[in-house]
A and B are shown apart, each in its own frame.
Chain A
Amino acid sequence: MFESEPGVPRSESFRRSFVARLRRVLRTSWSTLRQSRLGVLGFSIVLLFALMALLAPVIAPYPRLFEAPLVDRFDIHAYSRALPAGQNYETPVYGPTTPLFPDVGGGVWAVNWNATHATVYMSYLKYPQRTNQSPFDTENLSVQFDATQKFGVTPLPSPPLSALYWLTPARNISFETGPTDRNGALAYFMGRDFIVGDPFADKLIFHVQLPFTPIWTGEDPESAGFLISQPNQLQGPSPFPGVPGTPYGPYRYIYASDGNQTMVFEITYAHTGDQTPTVPASGRIALSFNGTLSAPPFVYYHWGKVADSDTSGFRAGTGQAILLPLANDTLAVYNVSGRTRAFVPLTLFGQAAHVVAPIGYARSPDTLTFFTYMQLRSGNASAIATFDMGRLRIAHVFPLPDAALRLLQSPISDDGTTLYLGFANAAATSTTMIGLNADPAAGNLTTVSQFQLVIPGLVKNYFSVANLVSVYVYMADNRLVKLATTFAAASAIVPEEFGLAIPAGVPAIVYAGTTHGTLYGVSLSQEELNGGWTDSATGRTTLFTLLGRPRVPLAPGTYPSGHTYLLGTDFNGHDILTQLLYGTQVAFIVGILAALFGVGIGTFVGVIAGYYSKLIDTLLMRTTDIFLVLPFLPVVLVLVSIARPSIWIIILVLSLLGWPGIARVIRAQVLTLKERPFVDAARVAGASDTRLIFLHITPNVLPFSFLYMSLGVAAAIITEAALSYLGLGDPNVTSWGGMLSTLITLGGGLYYWWWLLPPGLAITFLSLGFYLLGRGFDEIINPRLRRR
């Protein structure tokens, strides 16, 4: 049908007959294609992939940017132990024993307590060397007691137990830290009684009856385990050469307040079994204050920054303070000795302001002065203020976007320079998380860009772990999510589902730190960074690893979160099958477009070069040579550096790569065809050059054109894969080559067969399909190839 026909009708009937001819061509094509087994095979393969491409959003098991949840990606262990049932338990308190030194190997006590019966259950947690053993079982150690009777307090205190605090062990003057397990003290409020005792030595340290029932109670962060460095007893000046100075401390502070009356207690306590009790464990009232407070008090004491300047026994200096936020827009600052330091009027934007939320501080080891952070509100404005404890004034203010926001927890920085804060809105229907760069040296506050998130519902609690660069938020609907605190530029923060099933009755999830060290101290491995909770309903206390060992890439199968990954995942937790399906779309677009442009240009140039005179031929062929010789890698690199890598650049490059090869072959064919008798006959009959080219030469050259078209699609798909593999592809696009690229660059390409095989097989089969399709069409057009 494409062999030379003398004359083409020029009349309007041309158009009508053109449609008829087209239909005829298609029908003949299909019937001929059917005869070619390879053609049908190719057509069905291409059809299959085309369906995959079209239906990808529907049949893909997961959304395009899905990442497997943390429980799947990491080997997160959860261990639990049953507490006596039938009681309600409060949020556990985790207290470390001997912190900081990796080879000393301390432990952490999980202290669970029941308010109504005032019973306390302590379990010792020691992180095991073998990961299958529960930290509860490594050293089966526990202590249980009735808090009313334990320390022989008279008159007998009566439940309920309203608050419980742990006092971490400290070093005494001889640098001893005491035993690695049975070490520590507890302080608790029962009714109006405040009791401090050592449950291991069975010794009462301090007892006092308050004149009021406390509403707000709290502990200084160092004693709770938020350590900068382990507390030490301090030595006073030596009175006589050769005679050691008097030891002082270490002091721990606990406050209680009902809003109008406040008492701050000072407990002197080193560690259990202090063999040289030069300073016996004791307690005293540091401060007793009458005045209305607008927010809970805040006490901090760091032994390294205190001085004995007023001979108060190391109760002065910049490393200590008692802060009382008064309702009359003043901040009362006291030394822990009880002496007044200052009454600072608080102002915000010129207006008097008061503190409306718990105060916190940044406790970086390099801080020369302490800065505390508080939320101030004045009439219609609200802000987070940095309070310089050295100069006793507000240093810097970060205005909050909404004055009605209320800070939920005391802002204590885990790494000393960044605060992660959660605010509840006025209606308590949502929580806003904001990150602030709290630079203690400069005293200013700037937002951590992108760390700004509004979470529906009021979160129950949150904590940040600097070692894991994350903030863990326990949401209102009982889900734990992880927010990364480092991000690539311009990407939004995305909470990652933890995937642990948390029972409904858990009010808060506590950071249990490392079992080898302090709550915020040195950890030996990420598996020691744990969180914990106690479920009131079932009476089980659970400890879980916040990170665990990475399991990614995941082999095909089902994983703890319940998800099934039929082809496994890659390093980032992306499901391979999903990526494969979405990659089909890219492959089709790029392949077809690139081949179309390439073959079009190539055929045109080849025909012109072959047909016309030497000069044009030479010019075109040398241009072809230049393009053939031009190394595509640097061209692509330079293009990519000029413009952002995108799909269109890839298509452009692929067409530029493809056309010279086709041009050469077409030209060679035309050179031969030009000498054929039928061309001579047509020329003799008076055919013009154009007619000869379009009607006689081109149709006979088309077999190779079509062949190269299908080869071109195949080659385009492969080259695109190679370019993506080299990292030059469009990063926003899921392509098969990109999958293989990530496989190689992130290492271990040879071990993950579920990641290695599918993209390559997909590329191979799709190219194969197009090639076979081309062969099928080749047989239609070139009757010599047909089956006789």
Chain B
Amino acid sequence: MASLTRYLIRRAIQGVITLLIVTVLIFILFYFSGNPLDGLRSNPSIQPAVIERLRQQYGLDQGPEVQLYRYVVNMFTFNFGWSSYANAPVVSVLQEALPRTLFLFGGAVLIEYMIGVLVGRYIAWKRGRGVEGGVILTSLFFYNMPSFWIGLILLFFFAYVWTWFPLRGFQDTPTDSFTAQHYPFLLSLEGIAFEVVLGVIAILAGVAIIAIAWIRRPKRPLETRQQVMRLVPGAIVAAFGAVLFVWPFWNMSMFDVADILIHGALPMLALVLISAAGTILLMQTSMLEVMGEDFILTAKAKGLSERIVRKRHAARNAYLPVVTSLAISLGFIVGGAIILEYIFSYYGLGSYLLIAITSQDRFLAGSILFLISVLVIFGNIVADILYGVLDPRVRI
């Protein structure tokens, strides 16, 4: 364990260094993409004095090293500045966009991971039957579809031909109220607050967890540290769940929640279709690798049931590449399908990144990129740690 802590610290330091390098690279990219004040210069109604003052204010009149230093310092202290596109502080834009993206991708990743692992495990075990070929072909088909095209097709069928889902947006607006028009019965949920429902679910879940923990308590009492270790996965899951599924819906009524779910259904479906396929395939490959090992034969020879061999012996070892890829994809949650968010007009982080780049909003774009970098590096560290924890053969 001590080595794990040491490894953690080491990786954290390396992560910060990587982040620093990436920030510098981002700055270089922006530096070479032109002067942000050029657009203003061509506007005849803006006086040169104003432009000069802006230059000084943004520090553009100083040398690149100074600009770089200021940029890095700002980024690391989360001083993101003012977005010219949104005419608001960048932080407020991020506050609005981040939970949406987290909800979309978090939900999609969770669903697809579950589908992928379960299905992949099953079909790898049932090798040689028709089911395997059929499932693999279907998942291959979806895996190879371009993400934007899947989005368009889903929109075409489910939002244009049959208007079950809206064509755009994150939630209903006064001018574009899809849910209110097509699913009026949901309006009755208007009065119920989300926090209330959340509280009820939390109580029920808490009771269920305690009951299960009591039923499945270990035969021998565990040391304190082992007890704590048992709780750690649950705590991590709870933390992620809070960020992904509670933060976007905070301060909303159940109608809003239903509305957001309906609006987010198609983007999530698109993401799930593409990534579940990949997870299924990866899981299947990994399972097949593991199933060829000797210890599986031993387990079967021992007389263990097929289910146990599959779940506890084969699958546990097959999780490793899948977990690695999952951890990496956690990092891509925010940067991932920029195009998909753009197609669905789902104003999350990716969509804002694209808009910020095309509308020359340096501060917003730079901040989003920084945020993405932080999350990706974090995801990589988690992946490394997970791999070290899960596979004892790996000496870290």
Contact = CB atoms under 8 A, between A and B. Distances in A.
Interface of A: 37-38, 618, 622, 625-626, 628-631, 633-635, 637-638, 641-642, 661, 664-665, 668, 671-672, 675, 707, 714, 718, 721-722, 725-726, 737, 740, 744, 749-751, 753, 756-757, 759-760, 763-765, 767-768, 771-772, 778, 782, 784-785, 787
Interface string B361-395: 00001000100110011001000000100010111
A631 B369 CA distance: 7
Contacts of B26: 631, 634
B369 A672 contact: no
22 contacts: A38-B133, A618-B14, A628-B380, A629-B372, A630-B22, A631-B369, A635-B29, A637-B33, A665-B325, A718-B146, A721-B149, A722-B147, A725-B146, A726-B339, A750-B152, A759-B149, A760-B153, A763-B144, A771-B140, A778-B285, A784-B289, A784-B292
Contacts of A787: 128
A267 B6 CA distance: 106
A631 B335 contact: yes
Interface in B235-284: none
Contact of A628 (B152, B153, B328, B353): B328
Contacts of B18: 622, 625-626, 629
Given A637-B33, A638-B32, A763-B144, A672 B14 contact: no
What is the predominant secondary structure among interface residues of chain A facing chain B?
helix
A629 B133 contact: no
A568 to B, nearest CB: 15
B115 interface: no
A784 B140 contact: no
B136 interface: yes
Interface of B: 14, 17-19, 21-22, 25-26, 29-30, 32-34, 128, 133, 136-137, 140-141, 143-149, 152-153, 155-156, 159-160, 167, 285, 288-289, 291-292, 320-321, 324-325, 328, 331, 335, 338-339, 343, 353-354, 357, 365, 369, 372-373, 376-377, 380, 387, 391, 393-395
A714 B278 CA distance: 12
B376 A768 contact: no
Contacts of B133: 37-38
Contacts of B328: 628, 661, 664
A664 B14 contact: no
Contacts of B128: 787
Contact of A722 (B19, B29, B146, B331): B146
Contacts of A749: 152
Nearest to A720: B146
B173 to A, nearest CB: 20
Given A664-B328, A672-B391, A740 B149 contact: yes
Given A38-B136, A767-B144, A629 B373 contact: yes
Contacts of B391: 672
A419 to B, nearest CB: 33
A763 B289 CA distance: 30
Nearest to A676: B393
Contact of B377 (A625, A671, A759): A625
B140 A768 contact: yes
B339 A671 contact: no
B369 to A, nearest CB: 5
A635 B353 CA distance: 13
Nearest to A718: B146
A471 B305 CA distance: 83
Give the 9 A-B CB pairs with smallest separation, nearest first. Answer: A767-B144, A760-B149, A784-B292, A629-B376, A768-B144, A750-B160, A718-B146, A629-B373, A764-B145
A784 B17 CA distance: 41
B365 A665 contact: no
B17 A622 contact: yes
Nearest to B394: A671
Contacts of A782: 289
A764 B373 contact: no
Given A672-B394, A714-B144, A725-B148, A622 B14 contact: yes
B376 A628 contact: yes
B279 to A, nearest CB: 13
B141 A764 contact: yes
A760 B150 CA distance: 8
A322 B275 CA distance: 80
Given A722-B147, A722-B339, A626 B25 contact: yes
Nearest to B32: A638
A638 B33 contact: yes
A638 B360 CA distance: 12
Contacts of A638: 29, 32-33
A756 B156 contact: yes
Nearest to B335: A631
B357 A718 contact: no
Contacts of B155: 750
Contact of A626 (B22, B141, B148, B289): B22
B339 A634 contact: no
Given A38-B136, A771-B140, A772-B140, A760 B369 contact: no
Contact of B33 (A641, A671, A737): A641
Contacts of A625: 18, 376-377, 380
Given A629-B22, A634-B29, A642-B32, A668 B324 contact: yes
B288 A784 contact: yes
A631 B338 CA distance: 11
A743 to B, nearest CB: 8
A675 B393 contact: yes
Contact of A764 (B22, B144, B289): B144
Nearest to A634: B29
A641 B152 CA distance: 28
Nearest to B22: A629
A28 B353 CA distance: 50
B24 to A, nearest CB: 10
A337 B225 CA distance: 116
Contact of A634 (B152, B292, B343, B369): B369
A767 B278 CA distance: 13
Contacts of B372: 629, 631
A12 B395 CA distance: 42
Given A633-B353, A638-B32, A768-B141, 8 more contacts: A38-B137, A625-B18, A629-B22, A634-B365, A671-B394, A707-B285, A725-B148, A750-B160
Contacts of B321: 665, 668
A765 B289 CA distance: 27
Contact of B387 (A626, A668, A778, A784): A668
A772 B25 CA distance: 38
Contacts of A757: 153
Scoring A628, A631, A634, A721 by chain B CB atoms within 10 A of each residue's CB, the highest score goes to A631
B207 to A, nearest CB: 40
B269 to A, nearest CB: 16
A633 B146 contact: no
Given A626-B25, A638-B32, A665-B324, A633 B156 contact: no
B145 A760 contact: yes
B179 to A, nearest CB: 20
A515 B160 CA distance: 40
Contacts of A637: 33, 357
Contacts of A772: 140
Given A671-B394, A771-B140, A763 B156 contact: no
A638 B362 CA distance: 13
A271 to B, nearest CB: 49
A778 B372 CA distance: 34
Nearest to A37: B133
A411 to B, nearest CB: 38
A787 to B, nearest CB: 7
B25 A750 contact: no
Nearest to A768: B144
Contacts of B395: 675
Contacts of B29: 634-635, 638
Contacts of A622: 14, 17-18
Contacts of A753: 156
Nearest to B381: A625
